[in-house]
Amino acid sequence: MFPPRQDVLRLMPEIILSLSGILLMLIEPFLSGARRTLIVTLAALGSGLALVSTIYPATLPGTAFSGLLRIDGFSVFVHVVVEAVAFLVIIGSADYLDREKIQHGEYYALVLFATVGMCVMAGAAELMTAFVGLETSSISTYILAGYRRDVPRSNESAMKYFLLGSFATAFFLYGIALLYGATGTTQLARMTFPTTPGRERLLDLGLGLMLVGLAFKIAAAPFQLWTPDVYEGAPTPVTALMASGPKAAAFALLLRILATVGAAGTFWFWALWVSAALTMFVGNLAAIAQSNVKRMLAYSSISHAGYILVALAAAAASDQVELGVAAVLYYLAVYALMKLGAFIFVSQLGGESERHMEIDDFRGLAVRQPVAAACFALFLLSLLGLPVTSGFLGKFYIFNAALASRLIWLAVLLAINTVIAAFYYLRVIVVMYMRQPNQTWPPAPMPWAVTFVLSIAAAGTFYLGLFPGRVMALATQAALSLPGR
């Protein structure tokens, strides 16, 4: 009746996350307005505990629940990333929700449930499980995107995300069905190339549909159109979550399929190549034209998906998957930290009902709030990819993987995009540091919780930029732990 004890331990982070989500929903009605801090504390505690409990899956690698989940270094790495994101987002949201007067327990519960979904996606060794994880995380984020109920923009965001997202999920599901038809299994490891004539076309079709579904989730061109509107309309801490967590999970799923199913690498390669090139250019060129910082960051996250796709294409092109996979994993960690930091900063600076998101509102911020401005400048420089920040090493590993797989043109396109991107990141820094402060609108000082999140993200950005050795070793181990084709 009960699953073996080991399997339960392997699933410990997911269990803790789900239980604390449920607990939050249960106790919320019993708490009066003054006790709101208790909710935040509980939620942070839950995600923190989940992060700590990752030690169980880390020490007990293997498959769980009759092969539905595969707990290996890879899934543990992604677990740590998404759980850390959830932890930081929860802490960074508290003040925002207070200000917007939408401080409710279900917000945190939804963040936790979304994280459960992402964790399942990271560990899924079977496509139905992956689908369940994808849906759990997606549906939670649909609701979160519309969390500012009385703001039309937020509603628009949720609606758009929901409609297009379900459409994409349907593609994914149809892909699973076709794959099942072609290979007779939903277990990734057992999906060998079909010998029956005519089936291989089915396999290709299924793989193609799945790629479309996941490309939507990671906002890769030409499926990126929803991103700017959804990111802009959603409450900013939710945007921070969407930009880092679900993206990491969807990339993880892509990688696992790529590394496990032999046909995927060859079939996907050109699609990944073209999509990587398109995504980089679309994201960066559109970001240049933005005057709203939040929207600019949304476009920038599209372009970053393009950078990661370069490494993915490198993994697909070569027999040695691990170089590309490790580069993706490292970049995911790096990217999650810097993007999360940037969005949390913007969420605080935006002020009541996110009125101050225009680039002009950042004028002279360095004089008003030197520390916060320095943090934001650091994140921007890291997104741009300057040495000493983690963004550089992330990009370096991608370059490295691309050149090792002989994707020279893709590497050159990535280089060109770095320069294009410099233009809009620098513009924000120029406004913050080189213009006179805005007299009419003094930004509120940073509350301690936001400062905490910013300092963690900044410290991580420096650490990953100067001493990548340990984390990169973990990423490489994670890449090697994939079953291989």
Partner 1 sequence: MNQTHILSWILFTPLIGAIVLLFVPRQLDNAQRVIGNVFGFLGLAVSLPLIWRFQIGTPGYQFRENYDWIPSIGAHYSLGIDGISFLLVMLTTILGAISILSSWSAIQNRKKEYYILFLLLQTGMLGVFMALDFFLFYLFWEVMLVPMYFLIGVWGSDRRLYAAIKFFLYTLAGSVLMLLAILALYYRAHEVAGAGAAYTFDIPTSLGAVPQFSTTLQRILFWGFFFAFAIKVPMFPFHTWLPDAHTEAPTAGSVILAGVLLKMGTYGFIRFSLPLLPTDAVARQHIINILMVLSVVGIIYGALVCLMQKDMKKLIAYSSVSHLGFCTLGIFALNPHGVSGSVIQQINHGISTGALFLIVGVLYERRHTRMISEYGGLSTPMPNFAAIYLIATLSSLGLPLLNGFIGEFTILSGVFQVSLRWTAWAVVGIVLGAAYLLWLYQRVMFGPVTNPMNEHLPDLNMREYATLVPLMLLAFWIGIYPKPLFRVLDVPVRQIVEQVNPGYYNSATAQRWGEKPPVAAANDAARTESDSTKALAASAPPAIIAASSEPIAVNTAEKR
Exactly one of 288, 415, 444, 459 binds partner 1 (CB under 8 A); that residue is 415
Residue found under tokens 């401080």: 103
418 binds partner 1 (CB under 8 A): yes
- 434 touches partner 1 by CB under 8 A: yes
Distance CA(322)–CA(478), nearest Å, equals 9
The verdict on 187 binding partner 1 (CB under 8 A) reads no
Choices 36-44, 256-264, 430-438, 455-463 (CB under 8 A): range interacting with partner 1: 430-438
Asked if 270 touches partner 1 (CB under 8 A), the answer is no
Q: Encoding tokens for residue 150?
A: 């009385």
| Burial degree of 8 (CB within 10 A; 0-12, 13-18, 19+) | middle
- As a whole number of angstroms, the distance between CA 183 and CA 180 comes to 5
Q: How far is CA 57 from CA 119, 227, 230, in A?
A: 12, 33, 34
* Closest listed residue to residue 185, CA positions, set 270, 119, 132, 125: 125
Nearer to partner 1, 353 or 455 (CB): 455
Q: Could you tell me where the DSSP H helices lie in 28-147?
A: 36-53, 55-59, 73-100, 105-123, 127-145
- In the bound complex, what is the minimum distance in angstroms from residue 372's beta carbon to partner 1? 15
Query: Binders of partner 1: how many residues, by CB under 8 A?
Result: 32
Cβ–Cβ < 8 Å for 186, 180: yes
| Binding-site member from 159, 359, 422, 480 for partner 1 (CB under 8 A) | 422
Binding characters for partner 1, 100-139, by CB under 8 A (x = yes): ----------------------------------------
Q: Which is nearer to partner 1, 263 or 475 (CB)?
A: 475
Identified binder of partner 1 from the candidate list 178, 476, 479, 482, rule CB under 8 A? 476
Tell me the DSSP string of 153-166: HHHHHHHHHHHHHH
304-316 b/e (C-beta count within 10 Å ≥ 16 → b): bbbbbbbbbbbbb
Q: Which is nearer to partner 1, 53 or 418 (CB)?
A: 418
Check residue 443 and report its DSSP letter.
P
Show the site string, 380-399: x = touches partner 1 by CB under 8 A, - = not: -x----xxx---x---x--x
C-beta closer to partner 1: residue 175 or 283: 283
CB of 120 to partner 1, least distance (A): 30
Among 170, 430, 444, 459, binds partner 1 (CB under 8 A): 430
Binding stretches for partner 1 (CB under 8 A): 366-367, 381, 386-388, 392, 396, 399-400, 403-404, 408, 411-412, 415-416, 418-419, 422-423, 426-427, 430, 433-434, 467-469, 472-473, 476
